[in-house]
């Protein structure tokens, strides 16, 4: 598969959101997706291989923002 044709929605993703990419080669897809995220300066990106609705692939997501312990309560 030619990964360079894939358009991963990293720019539209906010913290706490994710997307699933069906694939057979988990490691290559995981590496490609994380390299794309870092090239877009998204440093909190993570990837987990898994199964969704009976289809194997990789789940990419951004971790939700953690509240700072020194921040005043809202």
Question: Has residue 33 been placed in a domain?
Answer: yes
pLDDT of the chain along its 74 residues, tens only?
676 778 899 899 899 999 999 999 999 999 999 999 999 999 999 999 999 999 999 999 998 877 777 766 66
Question: Has residue 44 been placed in a domain?
Answer: yes
Residue 30's pLDDT is 94
**Host domain of residue 51:** 22-63
Find tokens 């789940």 and name the residue.
Answer: 59
Which DSSP helix (H) or strand (E) runs through 47?
Answer: strand 45-52
Q: Which of 24, 29, 65 is nearest to 44 (CA)?
A: 65
* In contact, 46 and 38? CB cutoff 8 Å: no
Question: Has residue 37 been placed in a domain?
Answer: yes
Question: Has residue 5 been placed in a domain?
Answer: no
Question: Has residue 48 been placed in a domain?
Answer: yes
Which DSSP helix (H) or strand (E) runs through 61?
Answer: strand 55-62
Residue 34's pLDDT is 94
Domain count of the fold of the chain: 1
For residue 50, what are the β-bridge partners? 57
pTM: 0.81
């Amino acid at each position: 598969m030619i990964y360079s044709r894939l358009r991963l929605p990293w720019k539209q993703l906010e913290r706490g959101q994710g997307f699933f990419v069906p694939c057979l080669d988990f490691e290559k897809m995981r590496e490609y997706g994380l390299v794309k995220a870092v090239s877009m300066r998204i440093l909190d990106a993570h990837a987990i291989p898994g199964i969704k609705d009976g289809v194997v692939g990789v789940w990419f997501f951004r971790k939700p923002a953690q509240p700072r312990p020194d921040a005043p309560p809202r």
